[in-house]
Structure 1
Amino acid sequence: MNTKAEQTKGVNAADIGKLVLAVLVLAGGIFAYSWFGNDSGVPQAVRFLGVLVALLIALAIGAFTGPGRRVRGFLAESQFEMRKVVWPTRDETLKTTGIIIVVVIVLSLLLGLIDLILKTVVLDWLLKLGK
């Protein structure tokens, strides 16, 4: 059980202001990308770099809000938990994949057989009884 005290999940006015600013910075970067179109003489690589810079600035602004801190905490805890994962060896992965392929083939053949039997029963027997 987690022994940490639950933090409040409300968003205050300063956080809302920061999030609005982050959205405006990102929107400004996207607007600048389209404003300096192909006919403006600005290379597309520079325009794309401008959008990336606007995205990074927006993420940096958002990271200092309450929700941003919670996301950073979640990512840090996720990274810590990922270190605990025991990944399968190559041999285990190949064996498991082989078993799954065999099961899929067997089930598809079984479902195909059931479909063939039902088609035969419905089309050949039941529909001919009504004639």
Structure 2
Amino acid sequence: MNTKAQEAKGTSPADIGKLLLAFIVLAAGITGFYYYGDNPNVPAIARGLGVVVAVVAALAIGAFTAPGRKLRGFLSESQFELRKVVWPSRDETLKTTGIIIVVVIILSLLMGLIDWLLKSVVLDWLLKLGH
């Protein structure tokens, strides 16, 4: 459990303004991409670059809000936890994959056999009793 002090609930008006500004910047970038889509004087690379700049600017603005700081903290803690993960070796991975493939083949053969038996019982035996 995390022992950090809990931050106050709610978003400040300054954070709401920053998030609104980030949304406006992002919307302006996307709108500009489609607005200049029919203009032959604006190359497609410039339109795409404009959207990338708008996304980066919106993310930068959003990063300085309380939710942005919480997200950055979460990402840094996640990265720290990922360093603790013990990944299997290549040999372990290949052995486990082989076992899974063998089990899948055996189960599919078993299911096919059950299907064939039920089909033969229903179609060949039960339906012919009525005739």
Same fold flag (TM > 0.5)? yes
Deviation readout 1:69-97 (Å, 9 max, x if unpaired) = 11111100000001111111111111111
| Alpha-carbon shift at residue 118 of structure 1 (Å) | 1.4
Aligned to 1:13: 13
Structure 1's 23 and 119: CA in aligned 2 closer, same or farther, altered over 3 A? same
Whole-angstrom CA distance in 2 between matches of 1:88 and 1:109:
30
Provide TM-score, normalisation by structure 1.
0.91
Whole-angstrom CA distance in 2 between matches of 1:114 and 1:38:
61
| Alpha-carbon shift at residue 9 of structure 1 (Å) | 4.2
Name segments (4+ residues, structure 1) moved above 6 Å: none
Aligned to 2:26: 26
Structure 1's 8 and 109: CA in aligned 2 closer, same or farther, altered over 3 A? farther
Q: What do you get for the CA RMSD once the two structures are aligned? A: 1.5
Structure 1's 96 and 9: CA in aligned 2 closer, same or farther, altered over 3 A? farther
Report the more deviating stretch, 13-22 or 69-78.
13-22
Aligned to 1:116: 116
Structure 2 letter corresponding to 1:121: V
Provide TM-score, normalisation by structure 2.
0.91
